[in-house]
């Protein structure tokens, strides 16, 4: 299950992702915003979404705001979240392989939808390597 969240800057991006996931029969839950409101605040949506991911280890989060940074900061405040703000697929791959990242944040103002789909695909299909990386993760 993929948990989607973001803010007004990510709203249209999330709608396109939902259309894409529907076509590919990929299960997701949209945790908002449910409507476009230029005055909404990403912590109101991302914090509860991050909690859902943290409480369900088999879930993934994809959170989208203007830069991806704000959503990333909020997500990483939740114990059990290892969020990466990736602007390229190499970063997404390494975050999964080495850090076992469970949340991907993207910047709707910085990453085209086409590029974002490539990043998302790499993120969702890359495997955690474990080993020394698991030892490191256990330290926090």
Catalytic positions, written as ranges: 65
Q: How far apart are CA 135 and CA 37, in angstroms?
A: 43
Q: Is there a contact between 60 and 95 (Cβ–Cβ < 8 Å)?
A: no
Closest CA to 101 of 45, 63, 47, 44: 63
Angle, helix 69-76 to helix 42-55, in steps of 10 degrees: 50
Cα gap 76→53, rounded to integer Å: 11
Three-state SS at 92 = helix
């Amino acid at each position: 299950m993929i948990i989607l969240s973001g803010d007004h800057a990510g709203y249209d991006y999330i709608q396109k992702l939902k259309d894409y996931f529907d076509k590919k029969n990929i299960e997701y839950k949209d945790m908002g915003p449910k409507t476009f409101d230029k005055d909404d605040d990403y912590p109101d949506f991302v914090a509860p979404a991050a909690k859902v991911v943290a409480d369900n280890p088999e879930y993934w989060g994809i959170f989208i705001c203007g830069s991806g940074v704000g959503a990333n900061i909020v997500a990483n405040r939740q114990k059990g979240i290892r969020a990466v703000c990736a602007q390229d697929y190499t970063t997404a791959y390494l975050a999964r392989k080495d850090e076992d990242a469970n949340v991907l944040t993207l910047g709707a103002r910085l990453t085209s939808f086409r590029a974002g789909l490539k990043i998302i695909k790499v993120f969702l299909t890359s495997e955690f390597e474990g080993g020394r990386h698991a030892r490191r993760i256990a330290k926090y």
